[in-house]
Chains A and B, each alone.
Chain A
Amino acid sequence: MATGETPESIDPPKVDKSAPLLSVRDLATYFHIEGGIAKAVDGVSFDVMPGEVLGIVGESGSGKSVANLSILRLIPDPPGKIDRGEILYEGRDLLKIDYDEMRAIRGNEIAMIFQEPMTALNPVFTVGFQIIETLLTHNPEMTKQEAFERAVLRLTQVKIPDAAKRMKDYPHQFSGGMRQRVMIAMALCCNPKLLIADEPTTALDVTTQAQNMELMLELRERREGGAIILITHDLAVVAETCQRVAVMYGGKIQEVGTVDQIFYEPRHPYTKGLLMSLPSTQTAKQRLHTIPGNVPFIMDLPQGCKFCTRCEEVLERCHTEEPPLHQLQGGQQVRCHLVEEDSIGTNLADIESAHSKS
């Protein structure tokens, strides 16, 4: 428990900078519903390095939210079930530890913030109560007074004016942008190593979004070593805040790279299509490029590459043979047959999974 913290200085979480903070390996989460099995996430692997902001980009139905809820084991069961995979965190597989161990990690070492602060914050308790409750749950030796002071400190750090007074307010007494910041304060109150932010700015006005993103980045800098997974559909926000990006479609990762690689050298046709369909404040009024067709119904995903029904560069084999995640020079990974000749290897977990299915 850090005691030297002030509104200006934050004690960074203790993190081993040489290894990934979190390693997701071949995660699959299926929903058993009437009509069959919806494979919301079907073999997703990625690492989160200390101190980085990893963007996970995808449109509706891509599986990005389900993948991250799976990390914290927040998938309702039934109908959801984590079918397979490993989530390695500090030498433990989060999918295998028991309930109490997971509870000690959730909110304390890995925290999450959501798109709609009104549904994430309990409307019948004051904001102060909710933060104090989180602190006391994870720090049983803390006194109520210490927890109160720490909560006020956190609220001040997220730029809530008059923090001590506002501890007594209810969530509905804050504006949308401030509620979001309260949620950030609550998520960060125990100094977690990893923050998962699920569409944190989608529901906000542009100027508030800019304020909050600036705040999150500032906090990340001060919480040196702490990492953020930013889940969003907004490529512009990704360009502004992330170092690495993973693009998801149809429950799988289709491309991973640094933010420069993804924006300037996208190799996957879906990534290229997404980038080209963005109206940008810089371009002149021209017809927007579009990705033809619609996202296929989740129970009806194509056999081969999940994107084959809409891909403008599709080959025969794409319909029957799902491409592995190819590694390219420079670390970029692309799940597409078209990059096969540049491939220097394929993601190991991917091949293992393919073998286990056949």
Chain B
Amino acid sequence: MRKPLLEVKNLTIGYPVWRGVLRRKVGEVRAVDDVSFTIHEGETLGLVGESGCGKSTAAKAVINILKATVPGVHQEGEIVFHREGGPVNLLQLSRRKMQPLRAEIQMIFQDPFSSLNPRMAVGSMIEAPLRLHTKQTKKERIDRVHWLLERVGLQASQADRYPHEFSGGQRQRIGIARALAVNPKLIVADEPVSALDVSVQAQVVNLLADLQDEFGLTYLFVAHDLSVVHHISDRIAVMYLGDLVEIGEADLVYQQPAHPYSRALLSAVPHPDPRADRTGRIILEGEIPTPLAKPSGCAFRTRCPIAEPACSKEIPPLTPKETGQLAACPYT
């Protein structure tokens, strides 16, 4: 049994809704609604879901950047990080106390074009976290930068180049080198391959898997491409409109999804096989409701093929299913 590295407990995140010229707060959108999950050392937890499900918000909460980037954000619950010196709740840390922890929890972003500062040479970008978090000499840092560039499949001689001189896939590698620089324990990857061509995606996915083996990394992998997530994840968590609806072993969730939404989601994935059997495809009715008008009780009930009247009364808790995973539906 692997040890827990990060425990998210009853996490709720509300984004403020502003109205009017004077920008008064008139309400809140629950982007993440009472979500709990654990990431174990050395594992890859895939977090999937569609627009408005809250997966990106959850990822940013784990990195603890919401207070700094979203004025008025409201965070409840705990994010317990098990570091060498003992567990600590990230949400309660001051900015100063959080700073050293940032060396242990790093992030890779989706857009290789906006996540790199266009005015910085890539070598400097990778060196920056080293300057912040280590006491290495300049020479040690440069050596490390060169080593990192080579490790991610680029060349040390490219350290002086600027981001625009690289392709999307190469920029993503630079982002990975930067995240890897200070030997983090946990890397949160928010859609790291979505913006890349298929052949390049494969290269980056392989790289991430190799680095995980070599450095004992733990990943929280957020994505909407289910094939990629299945490929790289040990366990998968499915979110819908802020709720965690299913979580379990990757193969289990893929082959025998227990929640009606997971079933629909998986059946909607197109298969690159013209002769695949598509007869069981579940096509959902209607649109994903806007998070501003989240349905009461089970959020999925407005589109669920097996919804019952009781579904509108209470939010169903995650319960263990016969097959082994947890799912938030009493009827499957």
Interface residues of A (CB under 8 A from B): 59-60, 175-178, 205-211, 213-214, 233-240, 259-260, 263-264, 273-275, 277-283, 285, 287-291, 294-295
Task: Determine whether the beta carbon of A207 is less than 8 Å from that of B264.
Answer: yes
Task: Determine whether the beta carbon of A288 is less than 8 Å from that of B206.
Answer: yes
Which chain B residues (91-120) contact chain A, with CB distance < 8 Å? none
Q: Collect the chain B residues with CB atoms within 8 Å of residue A233's CB.
A: 197-198
Task: Determine whether the beta carbon of A290 is less than 8 Å from that of B203.
Answer: yes
Given contacts A205-B50, A206-B265, A210-B267, 18 further A-B contacts (CB under 8 A): A59-B198, A205-B288, A206-B226, A207-B50, A207-B288, A208-B288, A210-B268, A211-B283, A233-B197, A236-B269, A263-B274, A281-B271, A283-B231, A288-B206, A290-B202, A291-B199, A294-B167, A294-B170
Closest to A270 in B: B199
Task: Determine whether the beta carbon of B265 is less than 8 Å from that of A207.
Answer: yes
Q: Is B3 part of the binding interface, using a Cβ–Cβ cutoff of 8 Å?
A: no
CB-contact partner of A239 in B224, B226, B273, under 8 A: B273
Q: How far is the CA of A209 from the CA of B283 in the complex (A)?
A: 10
Which chain B residues (159-218) contact chain A, with CB distance < 8 Å? 167-170, 197-203, 205-206, 209
Q: Collect the chain A residues with CB atoms within 8 Å of residue B267's CB.
A: 210
Give the distance to chain B from A55, nearest Cβ to Cβ, in Å.
11
**18 residue pairs A–B, Cβ–Cβ below 8 Å:** A59-B198, A205-B50, A210-B267, A211-B284, A234-B270, A239-B271, A240-B270, A240-B278, A263-B273, A278-B272, A279-B201, A280-B273, A281-B269, A282-B271, A288-B202, A288-B206, A291-B199, A291-B202
Q: Collect the chain B residues with CB atoms within 8 Å of residue A285's CB.
A: 231-232
- Interface residue count for B (Cβ, 8 Å)? 43
Give the distance to chain A from B202, nearest Cβ to Cβ, in Å.
4
Q: Closest 4 A-B residue pairs measured CB to CB? A: A236-B270, A210-B268, A205-B50, A277-B202
Give the distance to chain B from A62, nearest Cβ to Cβ, in Å.
9
Q: Collect the chain A residues with CB atoms within 8 Å of residue B67's CB.
A: none
Task: Determine whether the beta carbon of B227 is less than 8 Å from that of A281.
Answer: yes
Task: Determine whether the beta carbon of B269 is less than 8 Å from that of A206.
Answer: yes
Given contacts A175-B288, A288-B202, contact A239 B274 (CB under 8 A): yes
Give the distance to chain A from B293, nearest Cβ to Cβ, in Å.
12
Given contacts A279-B230, A294-B169, contact A209 B268 (CB under 8 A): yes
Closest to A243 in B: B274
Q: Collect the chain A residues with CB atoms within 8 Å of residue B274's CB.
A: 239-240, 259-260, 263-264
Q: Collect the chain B residues with CB atoms within 8 Å of residue A264's CB.
A: 274
Give the distance to chain A from B51, nearest Cβ to Cβ, in Å.
5
Given contacts A277-B199, A285-B231, contact A205 B51 (CB under 8 A): yes
Q: Is B35 part of the binding interface, using a Cβ–Cβ cutoff of 8 Å?
A: no
Q: Collect the chain A residues with CB atoms within 8 Å of residue B50's CB.
A: 205-208
Q: Is B254 part of the binding interface, using a Cβ–Cβ cutoff of 8 Å?
A: yes
Give the distance to chain A from B210, nearest Cβ to Cβ, in Å.
9
Task: Determine whether the beta carbon of B281 is less than 8 Å from that of A210.
Answer: yes
Q: Is B307 part of the binding interface, using a Cβ–Cβ cutoff of 8 Å?
A: no
Closest to B209 in A: A287
Closest to B271 in A: A236
Among B170, B197, B281: residue with most chain A CB under 10 A: B197
Task: Determine whether the beta carbon of A278 is less than 8 Å from that of B269.
Answer: no
Q: Collect the chain A residues with CB atoms within 8 Å of residue B199's CB.
A: 59, 273-274, 277, 290-291
Among B50, B202, B224: residue with most chain A CB under 10 A: B202
CB-contact partner of B283 in A60, A210, A235, A295, under 8 A: A210
Task: Determine whether the beta carbon of B268 is less than 8 Å from that of A207.
Answer: yes
Q: Collect the chain B residues with CB atoms within 8 Å of residue A205's CB.
A: 50-51, 224, 288
Closest to A241 in B: B270
Q: Is B276 part of the binding interface, using a Cβ–Cβ cutoff of 8 Å?
A: yes
Encode B246-277 as 1/0 by CB contact (under 8 A) with A.
00000000100000000011111111111110
Task: Determine whether the beta carbon of A281 is less than 8 Å from that of B198.
Answer: no
Q: Collect the chain B residues with CB atoms within 8 Å of residue A290's CB.
A: 199, 202-203, 206
CB-contact partner of A281 in B168, B230, B232, under 8 A: B230
Task: Determine whether the beta carbon of B287 is less than 8 Å from that of A295.
Answer: no
Task: Determine whether the beta carbon of A279 is less than 8 Å from that of B288.
Answer: no
Q: Collect the chain A residues with CB atoms within 8 Å of residue B281's CB.
A: 210
Q: How far is the CA of A295 from the CA of B287 in the complex (A)?
A: 38
Q: Collect the chain B residues with CB atoms within 8 Å of residue A208's CB.
A: 50, 287-288
Task: Determine whether the beta carbon of B198 is less than 8 Å from that of A274.
Answer: yes
Which chain B residues (139-162) contact chain A, with CB distance < 8 Å? none
Given contacts A211-B283, A295-B167, contact A278 B270 (CB under 8 A): no
Q: Collect the chain B residues with CB atoms within 8 Å of residue A287's CB.
A: 206, 209
Given contacts A236-B269, A239-B272, A290-B206, contact A278 B169 (CB under 8 A): no
Closest to B193 in A: A279
Task: Determine whether the beta carbon of A207 is less than 8 Å from that of B198.
Answer: no
Q: How far is the CA of A280 from the CA of B231 in the complex (A)?
A: 8
Q: How far is the CA of A154 from the CA of B270 in the complex (A)?
A: 27
